[in-house]
Structure 1
Amino acid sequence: MAEALTNTFRLPPQLNVTEGNVSENFKKWKRQVEIYLVASGAVKKDGAVQVAIILNCAGPNIVDIFDQIQWTERGDEKKLDKLFEKLEAYCNPRKNEVLESHRFWMVPYQEPFDNFLTELRTRANSCNFQEKDRMMRDKIIFSVTGKLQELLLREDKINLDKAIKICRAYEQSNKHVKELRESTNSTHTVNKVTHHDKFKKKTYQPESKRPQTRHPQSQSKTSYNTQINNKECNFCGYKHERKKEKCPAWGKHAMRAKVETILKLNARKYTQSAQHKVTKKKMTAG
């Protein structure tokens, strides 16, 4: 049952002792191994089993280093704390506080703020600062920029805890403002589209499909459009090679059709008026 439970947990990564900051690599690796031993229940097992688990997680390079270790007393190779001491001594042959301090001050600011704070705490633990909280406070103020830095500098007698609260509150408020702006912009876009559709211009409709009116100009255009749809122009006899092709003098023909339509309308009105006068005279004479 214990072996099945152990297999359900992810194994820690191998310990890298050839690249990067070896001392930092060991600290992170050790922390992950300790969590794995507790989560898997391996801390209840014999020391030799725990050492074997650690060597299996660390990788073949660490196994070679383990075989070359000179143990002070017999049986130390089966003790977990002794193994960690030897590996730490191998990864930290000479601790340089000046170099660790340089690495601390060179840590770049990153978001979210808690990730940046965790990195600072890890670096500060290796620097052996006499006033660690003050150094971390100054590093935070020096690293941030813009409005957040202004807020921090505005505070009187600011300490590390107060600086952390201000940074977290500022980051959270920025997220809320961004969310509100995105929501407002999306609503404004929807309203703009709706307003545009409401007052959208009507699509163009060909004259042939438009409803006819009694206006002389509309009648003249409709009349001439009907004529140019034929294969031969009714005015000059021009033969169209394609449907709806206009003859060279279509502008004059359109004007001519318009004039003829107006004359016909005026003649019709004159005739109706004359007939009305004749009818009125007959009725008067009778």
Structure 2
Amino acid sequence: MTDPPKPTANMYAIVNNITASISPLNLKSTNLPSTWKNWLNQFKIFLRASNLEDQGDKRKVALLLHYMGPDSLEIFNSFNENLVVVKYDKLIEKLEAYFLPKVNIVMERHKFFTRSQKDGESIDEYITVLKNLSLTCDFKDLREDLLRDIFVCGLNNNFSSIKERLLNEGGIKFDRAIDIAKTMEATKGQAQQLQLASSNNSNNVIAAIHRSTSKSQNHHHNNNSSSSLSNKNNIHSSHNSRSSSYVPSHQVYNNKQKSSSSAHEKRCYKCGEIHRSKCPALGVRCNNCKRMNHFAKMCKNKKAYIRNVDVSSDYDELSEDTAQLFIGMVHIQQAYAVSSSSEQVDRWIVPIHINGTSVQCQIDTGAQANIISKQMFEKICSGVKVMKSSTKIMTFSREVLPVIGYCNLNCQHRGHHYKILFYVLNLKCQAIIGLQSSIKLNLIKKNNF
């Protein structure tokens, strides 16, 4: 094994320049775990930039403790380690354990699920916050899908057109949702700048016409004053007749502007928004009638449908009064018959025998509850008692859906029988199988990489 390279005079000069920006670790920080992570990354960058990564453990341990500051030595002494023989990697592990307490998964996920876009917060800033919050939530393979869902549902009301567009897009990837949101945000900003410039030009034109009109009126008034010395009564009667029918030119111009402005402010019959540039509904397929170039909210073929919903309850497969789960999500699609096999694949539709009847159910790995419509329940579950429930099922816009109650139903899949808890909704909607029940029914399988 070759010895590590010895430091040279040039290396010392580089180190002195770099370390000028490294401050001691702030042990009084209100967010010490985050402060430690940032400081350690800065120290690792220093080691690489100064070509000290290949130095021995003694030198790197000494550098680490030196730049952490004298107050950190008390922490090192509490480890009861020998400064001469302790390994650099082992010391880093002990410091990690000291500064980074065990993560409370429930609390971290609560922060993530309840985070919405703040006023004045840009799309980029909102995305960065959500990504950082998700790192400590242990979502594994569901991380990208949950990032997309919370990103869409948490968008500020100022970005309602972006939310509408993303909801109409359906099951797109998170990166694709980001691209659409950024493009629409940039387009909105450019449209506002153009509208502001157009408004300023209009104000200048009105002001110029007003000044021109005032000058002509003053000139006309002076002429009338001089002529009134010779024939006052005739001028007076003539002036009265003109004043009754005279309308200033700037007033006529303003009236035209108002009528033109009211025409521009009419809402678009395709997207429901007021816009002067390209309509955001162009090229978009309606989730209601499946035709192109309009949003579902503006569709003339009205059908009952439900978009993404959020379930907040104490949920268990057989009982409501068990472990508390702070949030869950159920993606409910439109309540129309599935017309093609490709559409079934896209929506993960599978037949499940419920109380002896085959029911087309949608698999939703983001849901922590199973739901069935009142119509389907009455059709296949005669004699089954529905228990009252205090559970609330809400859309992403916080609209509460009508929950009749819950019941345990006999389900059969591939020859195996199960008892599954369903919530009964007073709506025409697709039956949903949530994450836990999908695993229980062997509809999905978790892969450990």
| TM-score > 0.5 by shorter chain | yes
AA aligned to 1:186 is N
Q: What is the aligned partner in structure 1 of residue 96 from structure 2?
A: 88
Aligned to 1:22: 32
C-alpha distance in 1 between matches for 2:217 and 2:91 = 83
- Check 1:96–1:115 CA distance in 2 against 1; reply closer, same or farther (3 A cut): same
1:64-90 CA distances to partner (integer Å, 9 max, x unpaired)?
21232233896335x2x3333222110
Return the alpha-carbon distance in structure 2 between the equivalents of residues 13 and 192 of structure 1. Answer: 60
Q: What residue number does 1:38 align with?
A: 48
1:126 paired with 2:145, answer no
| Deviation digits for residues 213-253 of structure 1 (CA, Å, limit 9, x no counterpart) | 794479xxxxxxxxxxxxxxxxxxxxxxxxxxxxxxxxxxx
- Residue 75 (1) aligns with residue 81 (2): no
- Local SS of the residue matching 2:214: coil
- Equivalent residue letter for 2:148: R
In the other structure, the counterpart of 1:136 is 147
In the superposition, the TM-score normalised over structure 2's length comes to 0.40
Corresponding position of 1:158: 172
Q: Which one of the candidate residues 62, 73, 88 is aligned to 2:72?
A: 62
C-alpha change, 1:168 and 1:196, in structure 2 (3 Å) is: same
Q: 1:109 to 1:52 in 2, by over 3 A?
A: farther
The TM-score with structure 1 as length reference comes to: 0.60
CA contact (8 A) 1:11 1:36 kept: no
> Whose strand fraction is larger, Structure 1's or Structure 2's?
2
Show the counterpart of 2:293.
Answer: none
Aligned-residue RMSD, C-alpha? 3.7
| Identity within the alignment, % | 26
Q: Given the alignment of the two structures, is residue 190 of structure 1 paired with residue 210 of structure 2, yes or no?
A: no
- 1:153 is displaced (CA, Å) by 0.9
- Alignment CA distance shift 1:72-1:62 (3 Å): closer
Deviations 1:112-158 (A, max 9, x none): 22222222222222111131111111110121142222111111222
Contact 1:15/1:29 (8 A) holds in 2:
yes
- Provide closer, same or farther for how the CA distance between residues 135 and 214 of structure 1 changes in structure 2, counting only shifts above 3 A: closer
Matched, 1:199 2:213: yes
> How much does 1:109 deviate?
1.8
Aligned equivalent of 2:162: 148
Would you say the 8 A contact 2:117–2:155 is kept in 1? yes
**Cα distance in 1 for residues equivalent to 2:166 and 2:174:** 11
Q: Greater shift after overlay, 154-163 or 110-119?
A: 110-119
Structure 1: gaps (5+ residues):
206-210, 219-286
Larger Rg: 1
For residues 214 and 127 of structure 1, the distance between their equivalents in structure 2, rounded to whole angstroms, comes to 89
Please, which of 172, 177, 182 is the counterpart of residue 168 of structure 1?
Answer: 182
How far is the alpha carbon of 1:176 from its aligned partner?
A: 1.2
Query: Is the Cα–Cα contact under 8 Å of residues 116 and 155 in structure 2 kept in the other structure?
Result: no
